Amino acid sequence: MASKWVVGIDIDGVLADTVTSMAVWSRIVYGKGFDPKSVTTWDLTECTDLTSNEVEDMINSPNLYSSALPYHFGPDVIRLMAERQACTYIWFVSARPTITLGATAAWLNWHHIAEAGTLKIDVTDKENFADQHGVNVFIEDNPQTVLKLANICEFVLMPTRPWNNMIKLPRNVYPVSGWLEIGDYFFPKGWQYI
C-alpha cells in the first residue's frame, strides 16, 4: 500500500553538493577559491570574495550544475522511495533559473532518479508551491525556507549544513545528518539496499 506522503525535495544543498561545485568553479573561472565549509549563507557575497555579478554569472551557468556530485546515498534512497512506494509522489523543487532546466533534468537522469519524480525549477516560493501541490513532507536546507515550509508541511527534514545549524527549529522540523537518516523516516521498520 502506498504511503500518504507527497514529498518535495530541494536539489542544491540537499541532493546535489552544489557548494563544492561553486568553490571549484570560482577557483577556475575567477581565481577566487573558497572552502565549502566556510559557506554560512546562500548569499555567497557575504561569506566569500565573490562579487554579486560573479555569483549571478555562476548561478546562471548550466555547467555549474552538471558537475555537482550528489550527496552520499541520495539517489539510492530516492530510487527506493519510488520503487517501494514509500511516498505517493516526489517533486524535485529548485530555485535554479529556467536556463538550467536542461542541465538539471540531465543531472537527475544521469543519477537514475529522473523517473522517480517531477522536476520543477525557478520556484522562488516553495511554501506556496507546497500548498498548491499538496506537498506534506519537504526536504530542504535553506533555513528561511525551512521555517516557512514548517507552516505548510506535516514535517520538514533539514540536512544539517554550515549555513543552517544556527536556527531554532519548530517541532515539525527534524535535522538529519544525511540521506541514510532521511531514509529512516520513510522506512521506519528498517530497510536495506537490494
Residue ranges of domains in the chain: 6-16+70-186, 18-66
Residue 136, CA distances (Å) to 3, 93, 152, 172 in order: 12, 14, 7, 11
Under CATH, to which class is 6-16+70-186 assigned? alpha beta
Mean pLDDT over 35-56 rounds to 93
pTM: 0.93
What is the band of 1 on the pLDDT scale with cuts at 50, 70, 90?
Answer: very low
| Per-residue pLDDT at 104 exceeds 90 | yes
Q: Hey, what's the cell of 150? A: 514548517
